[in-house]
């Protein structure tokens, strides 16, 4: 963190649909500061949240998956409370159930992979900063439209690139092989089994095979 006075800094991010927006609780062991700082006053319906250095500046940023437009909050550092820049991950308005952060095209930037309910699942390729926010290229993981409730990544075919496993509600769970050729993704879809599950496999989180 840029604030060197907070030697041991536990960051708890609480997301909920209320007028309080997203908040960060800063609880250093030294008790230098103990308070709640607002990331944003936006009242998004947030379903998933991750912390990663998305812009490569050494600070941990916050990525949120919403029932609506997904966003990245870029960490600008600061004193007791961090300053944030709110950036949209394109204007896609989807019901995102889960997201994972990974360098999918191996260009050195962290990309965002989302599972969506009622819309195609998407990889957002990070093109670096442009005008103070990150520029993104959306890539649909095929045009399948399912009630997707979770995802996990793994190099299932050992080609050096991450593939995507999707958990669907009341539909077959599927693996999508990325078949990335250095320029384009050429997705191939396979059902994991022929069974159809009516229970939620809710959140695979960031599991790696």
Give 8-72 as a 3 state SS string: CCCEEEECCCCCCCEEEEECCCCCCCCEEEEEECCCCCEEEEEEECCCCCCCCEEEEEEEECCEE
Residue 100 CA to residue 33 CA, distance in Å, equals 31
Q: In b/e form, how buried is each residue of 124-140, taking b as 16+ CB within 10 angstroms? A: bbbeebeeebbebeebe
* pLDDT tier at 73, thresholds 50, 70, 90: very high
**CA dihedral sign, ordered 84, 116, 198, 177:** negative
Q: Are 177 and 185 in contact (CB under 8 A)?
A: no
Query: Residue range 91-99: average pLDDT?
Result: 97
C-beta separation of 164 from 178 below 8 A: yes
- Other CB atoms within 10 A of residue 145 CB: 13
pLDDT digits (tens, 9 = 90+) for 22-58: 655 544 444 444 578 889 988 999 999 999 999 999 9
Distance, in Å, from the CA atom of 82 to the CA atom of 13, rounded to the nearest integer, reads 13
Contact between residue 61 and residue 74 where contact means Cβ atoms under 8 Å apart: yes
Local structure of 104: helix, strand or coil: coil
Are 141 and 176 in contact by the 8 Å Cβ rule? The answer is: yes
Of residues 156 and 78, more confidence is placed in 156
Q: What is the pLDDT of residue 150?
A: 94
- Encode pLDDT of 175-197 as tens digits: 999 999 999 999 999 998 877 76
Q: How far is CA 114 from CA 19, 24, 183, in A?
A: 25, 23, 20
Q: Tell whether the model's pLDDT for residue 94 goes beyond 60.
A: yes
What pLDDT was estimated at residue 10? 26
Percent helix / strand / coil, the chain, rounded to 5: 0, 50, 50
């Amino acid at each position: 963190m840029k604030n060197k006075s907070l030697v041991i800094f536990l960051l708890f991010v609480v997301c909920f649909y209320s007028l309080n927006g997203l908040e960060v609780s800063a609880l250093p062991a030294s008790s230098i500061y103990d308070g709640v700082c607002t990331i944003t006053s936006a009242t998004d319906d947030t379903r998933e949240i991750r912390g990663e250095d998305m812009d490569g500046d050494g600070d941990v940023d916050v990525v949120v998956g919403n029932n609506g437009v997904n966003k990245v909050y870029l960490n600008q550092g600061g004193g007791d409370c961090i300053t944030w820049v709110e950036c949209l991950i394109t204007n896609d308005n989807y019901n995102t159930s889960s997201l994972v952060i990974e360098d999918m095209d191996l260009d050195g930037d962290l990309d965002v992979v989302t599972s969506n309910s009622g819309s195609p699942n998407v990889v957002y390729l990070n093109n670096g900063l442009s005008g103070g926010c990150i520029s993104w290229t959306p890539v649909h993981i095929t045009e399948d439209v399912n009630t997707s409730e979770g995802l996990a990544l793994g190099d299932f075919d050992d080609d050096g690139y991450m593939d995507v496993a999707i958990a669907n509600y009341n539909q077959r769970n599927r693996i999508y092989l990325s078949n990335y050729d250095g320029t384009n993704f050429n997705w191939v879809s396979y059902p994991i089994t022929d069974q159809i599950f009516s229970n939620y496999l809710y959140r695979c989180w960031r599991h790696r095979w």
